[in-house]
Structure 1
Amino acid sequence: MFINFLKNYFLVDSAQSAGGDEKALQQNALRILLALTTCIFMVSEIHSLFIPRDLSFLGINSVYLCLLGGLLYFSKKHTKITAVLFLITLITTSFLLLAFSDEFHAEKYALVSLYSLPLITRLLFSFKASLVAMIINIYPFYLVTSDNTQIDIASSFYFQLLTFVTLNVGLPFAVSRIIQTLENNTSHMRLLYQKLNDNYAMYEEFFENTGTPTLLCDQRGKILKANQLVRELLTDSPQKNISDSTITDWLSPLGETGRFFWQSNIAECTLKQKTNIHIEIRRASLTQHGYYVLHLQNTTQLKAIQQELENTQQTNSRLAHFDLLTLLPNHRHFCRQVNQRIDEQDNHLTGAMFIIRISQFKLLNKQYGKDNANKVILNFSKTLQKKLSEQAIIGRLRGVKFSCFVPLGQAYLIQKNLSALIHSVLPSQITVDGNRLNMDYQVGIAYYHTDGKTAEELLEHCEMALEYSTSTDRFSYYNHSLEQKLIEEHKLGLKLSTAIKNKKIVLWLQPQVSPNGQIRSFEALARWQCDGQFVPPTTFIKIAEKLGLLPLLAENLVRELVSTLTEWHKEHIHTPIAFNLAGQELMNDSFFALLMALIADNPWLSDMLELEITETSPVMTHPLIHKRLRSLSQYGYSIAIDDFGTGQASLGQLVDIPANILKIDRRFVSPLPGDQRHVDIVKSTIQLAESLGMKVIAEGIETKEQANLLAALGCQTLQGYYFAKPSPMSDWTERDNAKAKELRMVY
């Protein structure tokens, strides 16, 4: 008990000392110094009671004993003040002994006390205070060494100097270094302790929030630690503590996993309390301490899905061979069925393979939506299956392509008969949500034996034939020359793409004149010279349309044309130029934005740039085209309908398209003046245009008689080889636009 009391009293607080509390260390040192000094004076006091001495010495000793006892009492609450009073007492006593005592031992005690003052100061205060004490001690050292009468041979000057340096300088510096080292080590240990706590907290959080149920166990399955997900999985209570239990208390292994199933890499188990819950255990690692980190996963739902997949595997296998929408055989299964039919029949089997593509389906999809478009496909497939014989094999290829293989008799080997047969089975109309839609098709046809002996080969040749079906000739038959033609077109397409990107397509101008030959306007025509020869515009425009290059081509040509018109505008050459659009360009957002920006920046273009819309273009019936043409018309563009009368809905186009110019196609002009029927058609067309307030242009005029007749019928603008052939635009712009300024006709 007494030892513990002394330990607690003099060590103050071992926890604070270990933590590097400077106040606790100073309090420890102060109590020890005060206690030792008090003991010395107490022993002296007891000794004076038995050996008679001067009463004054006894009184002074008692005063010091009371003073030290008081300091020792107040050292706990007032450590700093008590330390200062202790040092003052020590200094005062030492100087009094040096000044007034004649005893040699008293002087030695005083010197030792003074020389120990820096060390004591360092223990009780800072190093700076210790330095001050060192400096103060120079004075008593000087007093002792300068008074030779007080120094005997044993206490030589060097002995005093050695004592002074050792006690006053050496020991304080050494102790300061030791204290500094201890403080540094303490700070370092505190930092390491903080990092250790942080890492422990991080690992605790990581273990608790791994995202998967995780537990730590030893080799015998005793659970040492478990995160919240494990507790929820095993007990349905995240607060329940399962430490010190074993894995076998909660899980039962499945199969031949063994007694220590948790030592396996993967183990299948069930909960003991709920056997319908399946748990998969995965051993993550074996730690250096022989512990296992186990990840648990609830696989109950996964097992159910797996069972369902196994039950429906046969159904899925069937679905893999059929189109999900129409339930027709897909490409692979269709080929398999056709090849099986070919192999089963004798060598006298004949037949035809054809691919049907629903025309303009993308526009239909965009106009009516995907759901209604799917209804069109579904209704078409049902109608086709009803009309074809049971011997026919029908499949759906990608998109809106349907493949058919039909066994044929000798009579249907004739192309005309086969076309009639296919046309008879194609539904002309489809009803969707009560609306009747007109159906349009393109068909590529190949004969079995003649054009191919396998389904794959026949389909490939049908695709080739399909590429050459047109709006007028929708049934296209494969022939061997098609392959070479497709290869040539492919090569030409590559060259065309390069030419468009490098702006090698140039503009030519053909004048549009009044009956007296005066040039009123021009038509801009695209020309491409490849390998020294001009490629017909109908050829490269069609290829550009297939490759989706028309918007870029049109943008290049429009920019070139606007550049020329800008120069003409500056030169006061007021001669408009018409530019042809096939329709695909207007479906392109960036090209449409370009047209709107050009006329917004250059309002004078409304009088100089005309837009000719090819009336036979398939996309011209699309509502988006009509909407954009109305916007262009409102911005000031003149809209002309080109090739009027050759499309499928000419009168409807006059209503839907805000055109103010009508161009009569050359096929109606060329029979003039000998064909009275064509004369009447042209006359009625001109009258129709006049009634609508539209200007009429007749193209394809090659004779004087045709020009005179059209002028007599009221057509005031004429175009054709009779007046002028197309010529490069540079002919009209060279020499500072000299020819354009003259505006003369070239005969």
Structure 2
Amino acid sequence: MLIDFFKAYFLVDSDQLSQYDKSTFQQSALRILITFTSLVFLGVELNSLFITSVAESELFLVINSLCLALLVGLLFFCKKYTQISSLIFLSTLTFIGLSLVTLSNDAHAAKYGLISLYSLPLMARLLFNFRFSLLLSFANLGSFYLIVSGSHSLEAHTSTGVVPAFTSFYFQILTFVTLNFALPFAVSRIMYTLEHNTTHLESLYRRLNRNYSLYEEIFEHTGNPTILCNKYGKVLKANRSAHHLLGLNETDKIENSKIQSWLMPLNKKTERYFWQSNAVECALKRDTDVFIEVHRATLTNHGHYMLHLQNITHLKAMKQELVNSQETNSRLVHFDALTRLPNFQNFCNQVNRKIKQETNHYTGAMFIIRISQFKLLNKQYGKDNANRIILSFAKTLQSKLSDQTIISRLRGVKFACFLPLGQAYLIQRNLSALIKSVLPEHIRMDGKVLNIDFQVGIAYYQNDGQTAEQLLEHCEMALEYSNSVERYSYYDHQLENKLVQEHQLGLQLGDAIKRNDIALWLQPQVSPDGQVCSFEALARWQKADGNFVSPFVFIAVAEKLGLLPTLAENLLRSLIPVLQDWHDEHIRTPVAFNLAGQELMNDAFFALLMSLAADHSWLSDMLELEITETSPVMTNPLIHKRLKALHQYGFVIAIDDFGTGQATMGQLIDIPATVLKIDRRFVSPLPDDQRHLDIVKSTIQLARSLDMKVIAEGIETKEQANLLIALGCNTLQGYYFAKPAPMTDWTNNNHQKAKELRMVY
């Protein structure tokens, strides 16, 4: 306890020594100096009591007592008045030293005073500064002068006689220089170094504090939950975000714990020392449904690890959703959504893999099945029920075909199958029988039995193609030439060449229509007396090389490509000016213009026809409309509606090629036709073929019963003409009377030829 008291009083305890404070240092030095000086004076005081008093000793004792009392008083006031106490203390020593040196004849007292004076510079340096210490050092030159001047006070009496106390001048110089200059300078140098080092340490300490504060702020506000640990996984520090992420309470302590106590790696291979990995996914031990990703940053100067934590629970959930979504998308990309059969690309991949796995002699058949008239089923039963029909058909097909067969839904009502074959099925009739046996003839839906018709295009592997893509393309080609009669169509190279030629012809036809290269020719139609009473407008296409393309060919191509409305519009626009001139010249011979159902179904063409009729009131007298009965849209109610509208405008409606196409007795009544045209195929065998003669007779009788005129075409002999006139045919047409000729032949020279051959009113 006493030691602690002295440490606290002399300001040398651990708290005071750990920090630098100049005033504290000076106060501590002052207390130490006063205390030990007081002890010296106290020792002298006690020693004086046992020595015989003499005059000089009494004076010394008085001075010593006064100084002791003063020093004791300074011990109490030095804490509050440090600077003043220091000055008084130094002044006291100065007074004592000067008094003893100048007034005392005792050599010991003189030495005592001299030591006091010589100690002043060193004490001044401790209590004040170097300048004050240097000032006292020079002031002590006076003391040194008194010493070397041979003052009587420096004589000493010994047993051998009187001997000067300081007989050596050099010793006096050495003492003076050492105590007044050397020690103060040395102590000043030490204190300067200490002060400089202390100032530097204070600067470093302030910087360290700033850096530490900055580190604390960065560590705490880094934006990420962060943990600092050593290479053994011992947690050294964790910011608040890390505490929050780990679900720690205020009472939970994470410092000095193991990182394994809080996190558990998902990968068992990295379970040991997982914090040393660059990145690792972990689960929170307190809640295994929380997933945390740990990213490591090595602190190379210390060998510690900075672990950045990231909550990836929502990312894991999103990743799982993405995986599920990818699986769903994969099904959507590779499989048909309705039937779950492979789609086109997936089907081709499977077939190609199967082909590569087999030996060279392996063969098979690819065929495409198309459900006929499915649009009618869709319209009659609705889209949902139609999808049920497709689904039922797909399941039936899968159940009847072998496991080796690869089945796909291409699009709509088309299904593709690749069937491994034995040698027996290389014969086409055997393969057709096999395919027919697996196709259901009907499908049940809601208790109803629906009959299903099919069209099938077939191609053989190796003979017709080496890949799935080639085989499917050839099956599509074969399917184009299947119909309700020939439902099973096989691919052959001639068929491909024909399709290629048709494609090229279609491209040329499109360009020809754009350039208006297709022109109208006129073929006369005559009355029984031989007079030309009307014309039929026929389309003719002469290519750049001078060759003609058969109208049967290019009309069929135009119908397949949907070009008929544009072609008919161009031809009609070229005919209208001629009819305008004939009307102005009073040439009363109408022209029959052929229309298929595709033109009448086209809204733009029908609107043009109605607009022309409205703009030219005479047009219905000069233009007759021949409807080709072979068109499959003849049965469409919209055709009947539009033909009735044209009939109300005054147009004459004629049914062309009667008996060869779609018309029935009921439809013949529904169509407002006034002219019936007998096709050339019934006229050509006349007059020798009795069956054809009976058909022509019955047709003419039918027309009469319906109050319709009859036109016979394809007449090439006089006998045919006389027979048809006798049977009651109203109008005759054929090569016997005139061949078709360019329309310019009838319009040149101011329509001279037209005026000569027809009655002019």
One fold, TM greater than 0.5? Answer: yes
2:585 to 567, 571, 589: 571
Counterpart of 2:698 (choices 684, 694, 711) is 684
Kindly provide the amino acid, as one letter, of the partner of residue 617 in structure 1: S
Q: Which residue of 1 aligns with 2:535?
A: 522
User: Which structure 2 residues correspond to residues 147-546 of structure 1 after superposition, within 5 A?
Assistant: 306-311=319-324, 314=327, 317-318=330-331, 320-339=333-352, 341-342=354-355, 349-358=362-371, 370-371=383-384, 373-375=386-388, 377-378=390-391, 380-381=393-394, 384=397, 392-408=405-421, 412-415=425-428, 418-419=431-432, 422=435, 442-469=455-482, 475-530=488-543, 531-546=545-560
If the length of structure 1 is used for normalisation, what is the TM-score? 0.56
Specify whether residues 619 and 277 from structure 1 end up closer, same or farther in structure 2 by C-alpha distance, changes over 3 A only: farther
Q: Is the 8 A contact 1:664 1:697 kept in 2?
A: yes
Cα distance in 1 for partners of 2:440, 2:687 equals: 42
Establish whether residue 589 from structure 1 lines up as the match of residue 603 from structure 2.
yes
1:693 aligns with 2:721: no
Cα deviations across residues 145-168 of structure 1 (Å, max 9, x unaligned)? xxxxxxxxxxxxxxxxxxxxxxxx
**Pair 622,591 (structure 1): closer, same or farther in 2 beyond 3 Å:** same
Distance 1:519 1:697 in 2: 13
Are 2:562 and 1:548 aligned?
yes
Shift of 1:500: 0.7
Aligned length: 483
Preserved CA contact (<8 Å) 2:635 2:662:
no
Give secondary structure in 2 for the equivalent of 1:586.
helix
Q: Secondary structure at the match of 1:564?
A: helix
- Following the alignment from structure 1 to structure 2, what is the Cα–Cα distance between the partners of residues 640 and 277? 83
Q: CA deviation at 1:548?
A: 2.5
- 1:679-714 Cα offsets, whole Å, 9 max, x none, are 222222222222223222222222222223323333
Q: Which whole-Å CA distance do the structure 2 matches of 1:478 and 1:221 have between them?
A: 78
- 1:585 match: secondary structure: helix
Question: Which residues of structure 1 form unaligned runs of 5+?
Answer: 1-217, 225-244, 258-265, 281-297
After superposition, what is the alpha-carbon deviation per residue over 1:296-349, rounded to whole angstroms, capped at 9, x for unaligned? xx9999875653453475565455433222333322333344445545666555
Of 586, 602, 620, which aligns to 2:616? 602
Q: For residues 563-609 of structure 1, give each alpha carbon's deviation from its aligned partner in whole angstroms, at most 9, with x where no partner exists.
A: 22122111222222222222222232211211121112223222222
Partner of 1:677, secondary structure, is: helix
**AA aligned opposite 2:518:** I
Q: 1:392 to 1:310 in 2, by over 3 A?
A: closer
Q: Distance in 1 between the 2:440 and 2:655 partners? A: 31
Aligned 8 A contact 1:221 1:248 in 2: no
Please give the alpha-carbon distance, in whole angstroms, between the structure 1 residues aligned to 2:447 and 2:623: 44
Letter in 1 for 2:565: P
What are the residue-to-residue correspondences of 1:34-53 with 2, within 5 Å? none
State the shift of 1:717 in Å: 1.9
- Select 1:711's aligned residue among 717, 725, 735: 725
Q: Give the distance between the partners of 1:302 and 1:581, measured in 2 at CA.
A: 66
Structure 1: which amino acid aligns with 2:546?
G
8 Å CA contact 1:351, 1:448 repeated in 2: yes
Deviation at 1:733, TM superposition (A): 1.4
Q: Is the 8 A contact 2:634 2:662 kept in 1?
A: no
Q: Is the 8 A contact 2:441 2:453 kept in 1?
A: yes
| 1:387 Cα deviation from its structure 2 partner | 6.3
Residues 424, 738 of structure 1: alpha-carbon distance in 2 compared, 3 angstrom cutoff: farther
* Cα distance in 2 between the residues matched to 1:730 and 1:438: 55
Contact 1:350 1:409 in 2 (8 A): yes
Change (3 A) 1:418 1:646: farther
For structure 2, which runs of at least 5 residues remain unmatched after alignment? 1-216, 224-238, 248-261, 266-278, 294-310
Letter in 1 for 2:459: A
Give the Å deviation of 1:533.
0.5
User: How far, CA to CA, are the matches of 2:401 and 2:706 in structure 1?
Assistant: 48
Q: Tell me the distance in 2 between the aligned counterparts of 1:551 and 1:434.
A: 44
In the TM superposition, residue 507 of structure 1 has moved relative to its aligned partner by 0.7
How many Å separate the matches in 2 of 1:724 and 1:278? Answer: 94
Distance 1:277 1:393, change over 3 A: closer
The amino acid that maps onto 1:584 is Q
| Structure 1 CA distance for aligned equivalents of residues 722 and 315 of structure 2 | 87
CA distance in 2, matches of 1:438, 1:605: 48
Q: Which residue of 2 aligns with 1:63?
A: none
Moved more, 646-655 or 414-423: 414-423
Separation in 2 of the partners of 1:522 and 1:645? 22
* Alpha-carbon separation, structure 1, partners of 2:469 and 2:537: 45
Q: Which amino acid is 1:479 matched to? A: D
Q: What per-residue deviation string (whole Å, max 9, x for no partner) do you get for residues 99-158 of structure 1?
A: xxxxxxxxxxxxxxxxxxxxxxxxxxxxxxxxxxxxxxxxxxxxxxxxxxxxxxxxxxxx
Cα pair 1:395 1:402 within 8 Å, conserved: yes
1:130-141 equivalence runs, <5 A:
none
Contact 1:223 1:246 in 2 (8 A): no
For the 8 Å contact 1:499–1:505, the answer to whether it is kept is: yes
Query: Are 2:339 and 2:394, in contact at CA under 8 Å, matched by a contact in 1?
Result: yes
| Letter of the structure 2 residue corresponding to residue 732 of structure 1 | W
Q: Distance in 2 between matches of 1:382 and 1:672?
A: 55
Q: Is 2:652 the counterpart of 1:632?
A: no
Q: Is the CA contact (8 Å cut-off) linking 1:223 and 1:247 kept in structure 2?
A: no
After superposition, the Cα gap between the structure-2 partners of 1:698 and 1:437, relative to the gap in structure 1 and judged at 3 Å, is: farther
Q: Is the 8 A contact 1:385 1:394 kept in 2?
A: yes
Q: Percent identity?
A: 71
Structure 2 letter corresponding to 1:673: P
In the TM superposition, what is the alpha-carbon distance from 1:252 to its structure 2 partner? 6.6
**Partner letter of residue 657 of structure 1?**
I
TM score, norm. by length of structure 2: 0.55
SS in 2 for 1:523: strand
CA contact (8 A) 1:551 1:585 kept: yes
How far does residue 526 in structure 1 lie from its aligned partner after superposition?
1.0
